[in-house]
Chains A and B, each alone.
Chain A
Amino acid sequence: QSALTQPPSASGSPGQSVTISCTGSSSDVGGYNFVSWYQQHPGKAPKLMIYEVMQRPSGVPDRFSGSKSGNTASLTVSGLQVEDEAEYYCTSYAASDDLLFGGGTKLSVL
């Protein structure tokens, strides 16, 4: 059982928007603005997509956005493209210098 809870799957059609949630507690997601999101294609290393809840690294399309409300962080992918089909993982800093991962969400672009 992962420390952060993500839905196992999400889906959308090309051009649509989809939001993936990441639920923790007041000791991690809710207590710090250190949530990051990673995209992983099969057989590849994960890639950083969002950091500090809503910041985008250089080179990541602005179709990807992050937010947080209470103990739940969210990743929204707008204008879905076929290449967005991948596994997405959230992470959060937690008390006592721990780092937690979510279980991952498989995003399908139908």
Chain B
Amino acid sequence: QVQLQESGPGLVKPSETLSLTCDVSGYSISSGYFWGYIRQPPGKGLEWIGIGYRNGDTYYNPSLRSRATISVDTSSNQYSLRLSSVTAADTAVYFCVRYTYYLDSSGPRGRYFDYWGQGTLVTVSS
């Protein structure tokens, strides 16, 4: 059973960098899949942040690409998010997720989030 657990500071000051780590259990991230983050501002909808692969490949939401960095660490079976220059608009519950994407004889398949962490609230405030 794949389990994801977010960890990191619950409070970050404006203009600083938000840092989160996701611990993965029940699956070795060195075996494959993309790993990423989705966030949800209080009372609002979901927003995709980005995904990363074991080889360093990353893909980001165009609106966050300049500030977001996702790193995958196969040695510790963890991955992390750094979001720089945060403002109050970055206050949200941050979920870590597993993203399924693969190729078969018919071409690309998947492109969905099949495992989610419980989420962690990060508040940006001075």
**Interfacial residues, chain A to chain B (CB-CB below 8 A):** 2, 32, 34, 36, 38, 45-48, 51-52, 57, 89, 91, 93, 96-104
Contacts and interface: CB of A to CB of B under 8 A. Distances in A.
Given A45-B118, A98-B62, A38 B113 contact: yes
Interface of B: 45-48, 59, 61-62, 95, 100, 108-114, 116-119
A99 B95 CA distance: 15
Nearest to A99: B48
B39 to A, nearest CB: 11
Contacts of A46: 46, 95, 113, 116
A45 B45 contact: no
Contacts of B113: 36, 38, 46, 48, 91
A2 B45 CA distance: 9
6 contacts: A32-B111, A34-B110, A91-B112, A93-B111, A99-B48, A101-B45
B117 A45 contact: yes
Nearest to A37: B112
B112 A52 contact: yes
Contacts of B100: 51
Contacts of B111: 32, 34, 36, 51-52, 93, 99
7 A-B pairs closest in CB distance: A45-B116, A34-B111, A51-B112, A36-B112, A99-B48, A104-B45, A93-B111
Contacts of A57: 114
B62 A101 contact: no
B116 A101 contact: no
A10 to B, nearest CB: 15
Nearest to A97: B59
Contacts of A101: 45-48
Given A34-B108, A98-B61, 19 more contacts: A2-B45, A32-B111, A34-B110, A34-B112, A38-B46, A45-B95, A45-B117, A45-B118, A46-B113, A51-B110, A51-B114, A52-B112, A91-B46, A91-B112, A97-B59, A99-B48, A99-B61, A101-B48, A104-B46
